[in-house]
C-alpha cells in the first residue's frame, strides 16, 4: 500500500514563473511532443503493474496505442538517445558509449539529426531535460534547457521547473507561429547513488520536503511498502532488492506526475488536438539483466503513441514489432518530410519505418518481423560489443568480447540490489536469484533463445541440430543488417574487415572463431 507524506517545510525555489500560454490564440499546425523516461520500464498501470501509481501515463494510453513489442536498439543512455534522434544504430551514427565526462563519445559529423533536419523545414525544436548526446552542432535544438546549462536534477526531476520550461517553450513556438517539436527528456527514474547519494538510490528524496531535501511544489511523493512491490523475475527476492524497487517506484510516480503537468501545459496552450504525443524510454531498468544487457529486460521498452487525428486508434494495444529507430521516420512522416534511406529491392526490409499507419490500423501478423540491436560500450571502460536480432519467437545474441566478464557500470555497482548479490555471493549466503553471479558475468560467443518457450532466456539453444536452419537464417539476416548499416564490427572477433571496391570483405585471422562468410 502506498503512503503519502505529511507536511513539508523546505522550499526548492524555481528559477522563474511564466504566464500560461493563451489557448484562444493557438494555431493548429502539426506538432510533436516526445516524452522520454530515463531507464524507465514497465512499472506502469497500463502495463499491468498494480502497485506503482501512474495515472497520467495510464490516461495517455487511453487516448492512443500501447505498444507491447517495442524495443530499443541499444541498451545504453547516450547511444539510445542518438539512435532515437537519428534513426540509425549506434555503430552507424558513431555514439559508441556515453557522451558525458570521461567517456566523451560523439556522433559522426556527417550524421543528420532530427532537430537539425526539422530546423531546415521551419519547425521550431526544443529540449527540456537530459540531452547526453553530442557534438552540440549536430544535435542543435532552437530551445535548450538541459544538463549543459542547468543541474540535471533541476531540468530532469524538478517537475515544477519542467512545467514552467514547457510553458516558456510553448510561448516561444506560439510567438514564432511555427510548428514545433518538444522533446522532454526526464532524468527520472535513473539511479543517482554514485552521484547524489544523499537523495537516495533513485533520488527519491530529492525535492520531497524532508529536511535538507528541498521541495518540488507540484510533487506529491508516494512511498511504497517494500513487501508489496511487484518483483520482476530477473531481480532476486530479498529485502534489499525489494527496498530498491520501492525507491524506484517513488521516482516513477514523480515522473508520472511530471508528465501530467507537461500534458496540462500542452492542453492549456490549445495543442492537444494538433500534437502527436510519444512516450517511451531509452533503455531497460538499471538492475541486473536490465540496462546494458541484450536480454529482454534490457531491450524491451514501454511505448505509447497518441495521435489527435480523426479515426486514430484509442485505448488499443499493438503487437507489431517496433524499434526506437522508428521514432525519427514516424516524426518526419507526421510533418510530411521524407526520411532519406537507400532503396532496396529486398522483399523483407529491416530498415526503420514510420509507425503512423499502426495508429490507424493494426498491421497483419507476421512471424518474420524482427528488431535489431547493436552495442559497443556503455562507460568508456565497458568494452563489450554485442549484436542481436530478435523475432517474435527467437533471439540471437552475438557477444564479441565473450572471453571477458560482462562489465558492471558504476550506477549498478553501488546499488543496493547489486551489492546484495555481491555480498551474498562472497559470503556464500543463499541467493534467491535466477542466475549465479558467475553465470551473469561469463557468457558464450553466441546465445540463441526460444522466447516463447523460455521467456527468461535461460536455456541457450546455440548449436542445437534441430534449430540449425533457424540459427543460420538469423545469422544471415543479422549479417545483412550489419552490412546495410556499415557495421565496422561485421567481421569481429575472428576476422579483419577490409573495404574493397565491391564492398566489405572479412579476412580470417586463424583464431578458430567463426565469423561471417568471405565476400
Computed on alpha carbons and rounded to an integer, the radius of gyration of the chain in Å comes to 23
CB 404: neighbour CB atoms within 10 A?
12
CB 49: neighbour CB atoms within 10 A?
18
Q: What does DSSP say about strands 394-399 and 446-450: parallel, antiparallel, or unpaired? A: antiparallel
Whether 97 contacts 78, CB under 8 Å: yes
Reported residue count of the chain is: 519
CB 7: neighbour CB atoms within 10 A?
5
Contacts of 90 (CB under 8 A, 6+ apart): 73, 74, 76, 79, 80, 82, 83, 96, 374, 375, 376
Q: State whether the Cα torsion 113-119-123-125 is positive or negative.
A: positive
Contacts of 144 (CB under 8 A, 6+ apart): 126, 127, 131
CB 226: neighbour CB atoms within 10 A?
16
Nearest to 420, CA basis, from 244, 301, 293: 244
Contacts of 391 (CB under 8 A, 6+ apart): 321, 367, 368, 369, 370, 474
Q: State whether the Cα torsion 334-338-340-342 is positive or negative.
A: positive
CA distances from 238 to 223, 229, 411, 418, 449 (A): 19, 12, 19, 11, 28
Which is catalytic among the residues 77, 192, 491, 506? 77
User: Is 203 among the residues known to form the active site?
Assistant: no
C-alpha 108/C-alpha 339 separation (Å) is: 19
Q: Which residues of 97-117 are buried (b: 16+ CB within 10 A; e: fewer)?
A: bbbbeebebbbeeebbbbbbb
For 457-503, give the DSSP string.
Answer: --S--TT-GGGHHHHHHHHHHHHHHHHHTT-TTTTTTTEEEEEETTE
SS3 at position 241: helix
C-alpha 394/C-alpha 367 separation (Å) is: 10
C-alpha cell at 477: 539476416
Dihedral through CA 104, CA 109, CA 110, CA 111, nearest 10? Answer: 40
CA angle 40, 220, 49 (to 5 degrees): 40
**Three-class SS of 5-59:** CCCCCCCCCCCCCCCCCCHHHCCCCCEEEEEEECCCCCCCHHHCCCCCCCHHHHH
DSSP state of 3: B
CA of residue 447 relative to chain centroid, distance: 23
C-alpha cell at 432: 534467491
Q: Which residues are catalytic?
A: 77
Amino acid at each position: 500500500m502506498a503512503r503519502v507524506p505529511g507536511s513539508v517545510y523546505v522550499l526548492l525555489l524555481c528559477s522563474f514563473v511564466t504566464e500560461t500560454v493563451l489557448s484562444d490564440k493557438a494555431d493548429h499546425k502539426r506538432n510533436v511532443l516526445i516524452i522520454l523516461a530515463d531507464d524507465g520500464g514497465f512499472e506502469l498501470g497500463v502495463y499491468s503493474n498494480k502497485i506503482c501509481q501512474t495515472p497520467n501515463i495510464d490516461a495517455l494510453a487511453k487516448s492512443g496505442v500501447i505498444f507491447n513489442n517495442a524495443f530499443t536498439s541499444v541498451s545504453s543512455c547516450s547511444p539510445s538517445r542518438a539512435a532515437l534522434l537519428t534513426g540509425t544504430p549506434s555503430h552507424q551514427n558513431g555514439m559508441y558509449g556515453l557522451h558525458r565526462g570521461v567517456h566523451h563519445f560523439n556522433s559522426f559529423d556527417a550524421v543528420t539529426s532530427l532537430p537539425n533536419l526539422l530546423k531546415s523545414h521551419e519547425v521550431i525544436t526544443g529540449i527540456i531535460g537530459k540531452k547526453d548526446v553530442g557534438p552540440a552542432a549536430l544535435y542543435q535544438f532552437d530551445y535548450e534547457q538541459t544538463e549543459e546549462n542547468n543541474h540535471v536534477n533541476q531540468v530532469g526531476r524538478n517537475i515544477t521547473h519542467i512545467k514552467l520550461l514547457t510553458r516558456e517553450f510553448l510561448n516561444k513556438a506560439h510567438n514564432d507561429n511555427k510548428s514545433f517539436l518538444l522533446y522532454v527528456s526526464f532524468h527520472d527514474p535513473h539511479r543517482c547513488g554514485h552521484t547524489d547519494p544523499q537523495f537516495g538510490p533513485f533520488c527519491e528524496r530529492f525535492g520531497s520536503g524532508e529536511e535538507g531535501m528541498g521541495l518540488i511544489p507540484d510533487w506529491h511523493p508516494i512511498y511504497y511498502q517494500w513487501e508489496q512491490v511487484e518483483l520482476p523475475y530477473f531481480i532476486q527476492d530479498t529485502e534489499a532488492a525489494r527496498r530498491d524497487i520501492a525507491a524506484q517506484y517513488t521516482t516513477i510516480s514523480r515522473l508520472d506526475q511530471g508528465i501530467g503537468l507537461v500534458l496540462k501545459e500542452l492542453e492549456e496552450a490549445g495543442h492537444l488536438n494538433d500534437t502527436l504525443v510519444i512516450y517511451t524510454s531509452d533503455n531497460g531498468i538499471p538492475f541486473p539483466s536490465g540496462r546494458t544487457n541484450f536480454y529482454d529486460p534490457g531491450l524491451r521498452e514501454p511505448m505509447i503513441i497518441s495521435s489527435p487525428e480523426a479515426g486514430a486508434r484509442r485505448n488499443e494495444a499493438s503487437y507489431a514489432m517496433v524499434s526506437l529507430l522508428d521514432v525519427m521516420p514516424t516524426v518526419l512522416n507526421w510533418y510530411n518530410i521524407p526520411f532519406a534511406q537507400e532503396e532496396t529491392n529486398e522483399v523483407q526490409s529491416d530498415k526503420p519505418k514510420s509507425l503512423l499507419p499502426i495508429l490507424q490500423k493494426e498491421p497483419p501478423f507476421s512471424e518474420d518481423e524482427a528488431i535489431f540491436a547493436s552495442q559497443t560500450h556503455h562507460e568508456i571502460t565497458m568494452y563489450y560489443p554485442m549484436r542481436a536480432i530478435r523475432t517474435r519467437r527467437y533471439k540471437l545474441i552475438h557477444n564479441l568480447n565473450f572471453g571477458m566478464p560482462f562489465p558492471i557500470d558504476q550506477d549498478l555497482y553501488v546499488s543496493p540490489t547489486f551489492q546484495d548479490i555481491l555480498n551474498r555471493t562472497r559470503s556464500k549466503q543463499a541467493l534467491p536469484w535466477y542466475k549465479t553471479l558467475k553465470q551473469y558475468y561469463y557468457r558464450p560467443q553466441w546465445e540463441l533463445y526460444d522466447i516463447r518457450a523460455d521467456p527468461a532466456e535461460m536455456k541457450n539453444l546455440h548449436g542445437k541440430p534441430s534449430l540449425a536452419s533457424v540459427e543460420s537464417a538469423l545469422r544471415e539476416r543479422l549479417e545483412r543488417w550489419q552490412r546495410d548499416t556499415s557495421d565496422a564490427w561485421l567481421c569481429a572477433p575472428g576476422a579483419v574487415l577490409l573495404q574493397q571496391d565491391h564492398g566489405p570483405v572479412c579476412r580470417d585471422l586463424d583464431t578458430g572463431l567463426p565469423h561471417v562468410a568471405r565476400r
